[in-house]
A and B are shown apart, each in its own frame.
Chain A
C-alpha cells in the first residue's frame, strides 16, 4: 500500500469511529445516568436481590460499600482460583489439566481486577468451562465493579450533606451487568458473528492443511467472549494471539467494531457524570481531556508506525513486524493506542515489535494511570482524581481555597488523593526495580539492555494499572512473575478503589458550595488543558528517569 492510501485509510476509519462514538454519546450517556439513578428494579433483578438476600434500596456508607466490594471481589478471586486449580477434574476442560498454584493465582487476580493479564495461551491452557464460567463471568463482573466505583464517586460530588452515603454496591453492580453490559454484549456478539467471528462449543479438530501437515484448529464461544472482552475493557483473549487471531478479529470491520466497543463506555461515562452532577459542561471538560490524550496517542502511534523510523523498518519499507497484513500499520496503531488508553489490553498486533516511539506511546498511555480514556469506570474515577489535583493548585491561583463541583478540597480529601496518585507509580517502579535486580526477574528478560528494561517496565505498568496488555518478549509465565504481577494487579486495583470510595464518602458528606464568578471554572478548555498537563507532568516527572533508560535510549539509538 502506498503511504497516501495508508493515510487515507487511517483517517477514514478514525472518522468512522469518532462518528459512531459521537452518535452514541448523548443517548447512551443519558441511559446510563437513568440506570444508576432510577428507583425501579426489574423483575429479574428483584429475584436476584432476594436470592442473595440484599436490600437494594438501602443507602450504604462508603465503608459498607467498600467492604461489600472487597468481599465480593475476594469471593470472585477464590472461585476463579478454584476453577483454575480444579480444571482437570471438571467437565468441559478439553483435556487440559488444572493450573499450577502461581498460575491460578495470577489468572484469578488478573480477571477479577479487570486486568486480564494472560501468562498462558488460552487455547492451550483453558477449556470451555474455565473460559465461560470463569473468565467470561469475571469479564462482566470486574467491569461492573469499576463502573460502580465511578458512579459512587460521581454521587459523592453530586450529593450534599448525606452522611457519607454513596449508593448501594449490590444495586450498582447488578444494574451495570443486567442493564448495560449484557444487552450490549449480546448485540455486539451478533454483529461480530455476522462478520465472521467464530462462535461454537466445538472441541479441537484436526485438519489436514494444503501442504499435508496436520493442524489442530480450536473453536469455541469466541464472539461472545470477544464482545465483553472489549466492552468491559478486559482484554483477555480467547486465543493467545488475542485480537490478532483471525478467529477473534477476522477483518477491518470486526476490528473497527472492537475498537468502538472498547471506547464506548469509557468515552460515554463523562456524559453520565455531567448529567448526574447537573452540569453537562463538566462532563464535556472531562471528555475533552480524555479525548485529547487519546487522540494525541493515536496520532503519535500512527505517525511512528506509518513513517517507521528506525533502521529495520526503513530497510524493510514498513514497520510490519508483529502486525497482521489484513490490518496494516495504521489500523494496528489505532488499536494499540485505544487498547492501552482504555486499560483493555487486547492487542491486534505485537506492541513489542512496534517502533521505539510507538511502543513508548503505548507504555506512556498505561503509565498515565489509565485515563485516556481509561477502563470502564476506572478511567472516569482516575480522571476525576486528577481533576482534583489540578483544582488544588489552580484553585489557589484564583484566590480561593480549592473546590471542585462545589466541594472543598481540604486536608482529608488531599490525603486520599495523594495516596491515590502515589499508589500505582509505587507499584510500577518498585516492581520493575526489584525485577531487574533479582535473578528470577532477570531470567525472564529475552533481550538484555534498554529493550529488556522496557519489557519489564511494560509488564508492571500493565499489571499495576490493570491494563493487561503484554509487550511480549518477556517470559512471564514463571512463578516469580505470576506472583509479583498478581500482587501488582491486586494492589493496583483495590488500593485506589478504596481510596476513591473514601473520597466519595467525604465529598458526599460535604455541603455543596454554590458557584460564583469568583469560583474556578472547571468546565472551560483552559481547565481541561490544565488537567491534561497535570496528568502528563505527574506521570512524566515520575517515570522520566526510567523511561530515559528504556524507550528513550532505544528511540535515540
Chain B
C-alpha cells in the first residue's frame, strides 16, 4: 500500500517587497492638506494668476477678465457692493491657482525626499578599452579611477562594494549583492541584484549592503528614473492628457454659452427697461461658468500622478494613467502575481518497494546541493518531517547540474566501500525513465504502472511531478517515488480577480507551464483566461488580438523578452528590478517590482477619471441654485413678481449676488482636498458607480449651493449697506 505524508508547506518566502500593499514612499501617504503645504503653495499660486499661464484655461481667463473689469468699475464708482464682488472675483482666481499650486507643492514635497538620494557620490569607474568593457569578464579586477557620479556617461562601468552608494542607474554585469533600495521603494528589506537574468537592474542612490558588483551605467546622470520621477511629481513635465483636453473643450463650450447668455441679457434688460449694472452681469457670468471644475482640473491631474508615485509607480506620461482607467484586459504573469513564484514541494509519493522514509532521504540528499527554489523546498519539506534524516553531503560528492538536454539533476555520492558509488537523480518522468533504461533497469510492470499513476495524478492537479531514482554501484537503477511540486496561489488574489470582473476587466494568466497545469492554477486563482506555454511571441500576438477587438490591454513585465509586449500594450508596467530594455519599452515603472500593482494602477486611473466627472457634474448642477439667487436679485426691482423666485429668501438683491459669488469662490477651496485625494472608489459595475456618483455629486451639486448661499447670505446681511 502506498502511503504518503502531506506536510503544510512552510511559509514561502516572497519576492523582494512582493506584497500587495506597497510601502509608502518615504513617509506617510498624504491624506489631507497641511498648512505648511498651503504656505509653500502661495508664491506659486500668485505666479499662476499671470494671464499667460491662465490661457490654457479659458474658464479662469474669463474670471480674471471679469475681475479686471469690475476693479476698474469699482474704482470709478466705489461702493461696498462693487468692492466686495471685485474682491471675491479675485479670490476666485486665486483659489483656482492655489489648488494647482498645492497639488504641485505636495509633489515637490515627495520630490525633495527623493532628491536626497541624488547627492553626488564618488564612483569608481573601471578604466579599460570599450571592447574589453563590452565583452570582458572579471571587470572588477581591472584598475579603476574615482570620478564624481555626475560625470558618468552611458556605457561606463563602475565597481560598487558593500557600504557604497550606487552612482547611477544601470545593469549589474558581474557579481551578486544585496542592495538596500529603501530610499526609492520605502521597503526596508534588502533585495538581491545579480548579473544576467531579470534581476540585474540597479537604481542610482541605492546602497549596496554586501558583496561587490560591477555595474554598467544605462542612464546618463540627470535622466535617471529618480530624476524623471522628480520632474513628474513637480509637474514641470506635465502635459495635459487627451481626456483632460476634451473636458477642457466642453468647459470652454459651456463658458461660451454663458458668455452668450449674459452678453445678450443686457439688450433684453434694456428692452424691458431694466438696464443692469455691468458688475452684476460679470458676477452672474462668473457664477454660471464652470469655475469649480475649471479651477480644479489641473490639480486633479497632478494629484492622480501623485497617487501613483505614492504607490511607487512612475508613469512616463499622464496619458498612460488615463489609459489605465480604460483597461479591458489584464495580462498577469502567473509567477509572482498569481502564485508565490516558485514551485514548492508539498508531497512525497513513494513508488514500488521504496518506503516513504527512503524516498525522503534520497530526495533530500539529491537536493542538498541544489540551490534552486524547488530544490530548497524539497529539503525544507523533508526537514519538517518527524523522522527527518540528518547529515550533510559526504565529502567527495559530485553535483550533477540540471541541463536542458538531460532535464534532470542529482548528485553522485562516493558511497561506502563495497557498495560502490551512489547516484541519485531527480527530474521529469520521461527523463528519469530514460536514465533508468540507460542503467539497464527493468522495473516491474506493476511499478511502472504505479509510477505513471502517481505522475498523472500530480500533473492532473496542475502540479509538477519530480521522479526520484537511485543507482547503487553499477547495479540497475531503481525508482523511489515522486515528489509533488506545486505552485501556491497567493492569498487574496481570488478576491482581487472577482473585483476586477465586477469592474468589467478580464484577467488573462500568462505562463510557460503546459495547458493542464495552467488551467488548474487558473481555476484555483479564479482568472478568466489562460495563455499556457506562452512564448514572448504568443504574448505579443495575444495583445494584438485583443487590441484589434478594440480592447485596451495592460501588462507587467521585467525581462528583455517582455519588451515587445510591454511596448505593444496600452499600459505596460515594467519592474524596476527588470532589464533596461523592459523599462524603456513600458510606459510605467514600478519601483517595488510588484506585478500585482497593476490592479492598483487601474484603480488609480479610474479614480482620476471619476473625480473629473464628479466635479464637472457638481459644478454644472450648482448653476441652478445660482440662477435662483441672482436672477430675481437682478430684476426684482423692475418686476416685483420675480420676487417669487427668491426661494432662498435672500436678504437683499446685493447680498444675494455677493453671497452667490462668495459661495462660488469658497466651494473651490472646499473641494481642493477632494480633488487631491480623489473621490471614493470601490470596484463595482458601471451602473452602480453611475448611480452612486450621480446621487452624490449630481443631487449634491443641486442642493449644496442652496444651503451654502443661504448661510453666506445670513452672514453677509449683517454688513451694513447690503
Contacts and interface: CB of A to CB of B under 8 A. Distances in A.
Interface residues of A, number: 67
Contacts of B551: 513-514
A418 B274 contact: no
A394 B613 contact: yes
Given A401-B325, A453-B271, A549-B269, A393 B613 contact: yes
Contact of A393 (B249, B270, B616): B616
Contacts of A394: 613, 617, 690, 694
Given A541-B623, A556-B644, A401 B326 contact: yes
Contacts of B284: 545
Nearest to B608: A399
B700 to A, nearest CB: 13
B262 to A, nearest CB: 7
B261 A541 contact: yes
Contacts of B271: 436-437, 442, 452-453
Interface string A402-427: 10001001110111001101100110
Interface in A435-457: 436-437, 442, 449-450, 452-453
A524 interface: yes
A433 B268 contact: yes
Contacts of B687: 521, 524, 526
A399 B323 CA distance: 10
B505 A436 contact: no
Contact of B550 (A514, A546, A556): A514
Contacts of B246: 392, 402, 409-411, 413-414
A15 interface: no
A541 B288 contact: yes
Interface string B134-165: 00000000000000000000000000000000
Interface in A499-557: 511-514, 516-521, 524, 526-527, 530, 537-538, 540-546, 548-549, 552-553, 556-557
Contacts of A452: 271
Contacts of A112: none
A442 B607 CA distance: 54
B395 to A, nearest CB: 63
Most-contacted residue by chain A among B607, B617, B621 (CB, 10 A): B617
A553 B642 contact: yes
B627 interface: yes
Contacts of A406: 550
Interface string B613-652: 1101100110110010001000100010110110000000
Contact of B268 (A411, A419, A422, A432): A432
A486 B664 CA distance: 40
A89 interface: no
A429 interface: yes
Contacts of B263: 433
A545 B268 contact: yes
A542 B268 contact: no
A18 B685 CA distance: 35
Given A399-B610, A453-B272, A543 B550 contact: no
B268 A521 contact: no
Contacts of B623: 537, 541
A394 B691 CA distance: 10
B189 interface: no
B694 A429 contact: no
B94 to A, nearest CB: 26
B686 A396 contact: no
A422 B325 contact: no
Contact of B641 (A421, A425, A527, A553): A553
Interface string A46-71: 00000000000000000000000000
B264 interface: yes
Give the size range of B's interface with the partner: 35 or more
A430 interface: yes
A315 B691 CA distance: 48
A543 B503 CA distance: 39
A542 B265 CA distance: 11
A445 to B, nearest CB: 9
Given A410-B242, A411-B249, A433 B610 contact: no
A540 B626 CA distance: 13
Among the interface residues B253, B274, B623, which one has the most CB atoms of the partner chain A within 10 A? B253
A518 B327 CA distance: 10
A521 B686 contact: yes
Nearest to A543: B261
A397 B261 contact: no
Contacts of B516: none
Contacts of A553: 272, 635, 639, 641-642
B402 interface: no
A312 interface: no
Given A542-B257, A542-B261, A556-B644, A397 B614 contact: yes
A418 B250 contact: yes
Contacts of A527: 690
B323 to A, nearest CB: 8
Give the dominant DSSP class at A's interface.
helix
A285 to B, nearest CB: 13
A400 interface: yes
A437 B263 CA distance: 13
Contacts of B686: 398-400, 517-521
Contacts of A396: 243, 247, 609-610, 612-614, 616
B711 interface: no
A449 B272 contact: yes
A397 B642 contact: no
A395 interface: yes
B252 interface: yes
Nearest to B244: A411
Nearest to A521: B687
Contacts of A521: 686-687, 690
A359 B693 CA distance: 36
Q: Pick the most buried of A414, A521, A527: most chain B CB atoms within 10 A of its CB.
A: A414
A513 B550 contact: yes
B155 to A, nearest CB: 41
Contacts of B247: 392, 396, 414
B216 to A, nearest CB: 40
Interface in A230-260: none
A513 B328 CA distance: 10
A51 to B, nearest CB: 42
Given A526-B687, A530-B694, A425 B257 contact: yes
A398 B264 CA distance: 37
Residue in A511, A530, A544 with the greatest tally of chain B CB atoms within 10 Å: A544
A436 B265 CA distance: 11
Interface in B681-714: 681, 685-687, 689-691, 693-694, 697
Residue among B257, B645, B686 with max Cβ neighbours from chain A (10 Å): B686
Interface string A369-386: 000000000000000000
A481 B506 CA distance: 61
Contact of A397 (B252, B268, B689): B689
Contact of A399 (B267, B609, B621, B691): B609
Contact of A552 (B250, B252, B613, B642): B642
A399 B689 contact: yes
Contacts of A530: 694
B629 to A, nearest CB: 12
A541 to B, nearest CB: 5
Interface of B: 242-243, 245-247, 249-250, 252-253, 256-258, 260-265, 267-272, 274, 284, 288, 322, 325-326, 328, 501-506, 548-551, 605-607, 609-610, 612-614, 616-617, 620-621, 623-624, 627, 631, 635, 639, 641-642, 644-645, 681, 685-687, 689-691, 693-694, 697
7 contacts: A389-B250, A411-B242, A411-B245, A430-B260, A519-B504, A540-B624, A545-B265
> Which 9 pairs, one residue from A and one from B, show the smallest C-beta to C-beta distance?
A518-B504, A396-B613, A399-B606, A418-B253, A516-B504, A397-B613, A556-B641, A433-B264, A436-B271
Given A421-B253, A429-B261, 4 more contacts: A392-B250, A400-B606, A401-B322, A519-B686
